[in-house]
Copies of this chain bind each other. A is one copy, B any other.
Amino acid sequence: MNDLAGLEAFANVKRLIVVAAHPDDLETMCGGTIALLVAQGVTVFSVNCTLGDIGTQESGIVRPALAATRLAETDDAAQVLGIKQTYNLGHHDGELEPNLELRAQISRLYRITQADALFTFDPYWTGQIHPDHRAAGQAALDAYMPSKMPLYRPEQLSENGAGLGCLQKIFLFSTDRQPNVFVDVNSVYGTKIAAALAHRSQFPKGEENLEWMKTLDTLAGAPINMTYAERFKQLDVW
């Protein structure tokens, strides 16, 4: 098991943007790593592409009401983790498409946040059964190059504080394709759980609804002797 990195993989990261699909993706997929990075002084921005507005098994709720609830829960979780700002791109849950509109929305956030690193779903993991996850990851990758070009959607560069995209590092989560960064999140696991539980609509019974997450993090850590790990695949970019 050579060539694996830990938290040091993010050594030079100063401004991190996380592009996820639904409220609670960030928290459950990489909430521990986020907590560690925030503690190190990294500024973190959270982007959810969808409103998470089909995220329930109850049929009595209307979608906009569920969306409003989830937006509020997102902000609560962000406070737990110390995330600087959250963005929601307003798409409908279960129907996210990696199209030019989504690409432009994400490019705009690369330019506004001036993030130097990206966390997103691995769009190429063939076991990824949720189409929104693939779409979010694909669009986040597709926005990388255009965001750096001044003639791409130049109106985005007129916004206050915006500059050309300056991402330099990309890390993919939710992947089985030879992840090469394993972060020991044991020390912040309570924070991770607290952030996840801020999504009360998703985990109404509290920690007992998070067994699946603990299992995943345990499995991720097992081969490298960590109790709980989050893992990533760093993508080479040029």
Q: A62-B71, A68-B62, A97-B100 are in contact. Are A151 and B56 (CB under 8 A)?
A: yes
**Which residues of chain A (107-159) have a CB below 8 Å from chain B?**
108, 124, 126-127, 129-131, 141-142, 144-146, 149-152, 154-156, 158-159
Question: Most B CB atoms within 10 A — which of A54, A66, A236, A237?
Answer: A54
Question: Most B CB atoms within 10 A — which of A55, A63, A103, A150?
Answer: A63
In the complex, the chain B residue whose C-beta lies closest to that of A58 is B150
A167 to chain B, nearest CB (A): 10
Are A66 and B151 touching (Cβ within 8 A)?
A: yes
A134 to chain B, nearest CB (A): 8
The interface size bin for chain A is 35 or more
Determine how many copies of this chain the complex contains.
6
Are A236 and B127 touching (Cβ within 8 A)?
A: yes
**Which residues of chain A (77-109) have a CB below 8 Å from chain B?**
90, 93-95, 97, 99-100, 103, 108
A53 contacts chain B at the CB level, 8 A cutoff: yes
Q: Would you call the interface of chain A mostly helix, strand, loop, or mixed?
A: loop
Are A145 and B129 touching (Cβ within 8 A)?
A: yes
- Residues of chain B lying within 8 A (CB to CB) of residue A90: 63
- Residues of chain B lying within 8 A (CB to CB) of residue A126: 124, 177
- Residues of chain B lying within 8 A (CB to CB) of residue A66: 151
Are B149 and A54 touching (Cβ within 8 A)?
A: yes
Are A130 and B158 touching (Cβ within 8 A)?
A: no
Are B144 and A63 touching (Cβ within 8 A)?
A: no
- Residues of chain B lying within 8 A (CB to CB) of residue A146: 54, 94-95, 131
Are A100 and B95 touching (Cβ within 8 A)?
A: yes
- Residues of chain B lying within 8 A (CB to CB) of residue A237: 129
Can you report 17 A-B residue pairs in the complex whose CB atoms are below 8 A from each other?
Answer: A54-B146, A54-B151, A57-B150, A59-B150, A62-B71, A64-B64, A64-B67, A64-B68, A66-B151, A67-B67, A95-B103, A95-B146, A124-B126, A127-B235, A129-B238, A158-B159, A159-B159
Q: Can you list the 7 inter-chain pairs with the closest CB atoms, starting with the nearest?
A: A64-B67, A131-B142, A94-B146, A54-B151, A65-B68, A59-B150, A158-B159
- Known A61-B151, A94-B146; 12 more pairs at CB < 8 Å: A54-B151, A57-B149, A59-B154, A62-B71, A66-B151, A68-B68, A94-B149, A94-B152, A127-B236, A129-B235, A131-B141, A158-B160
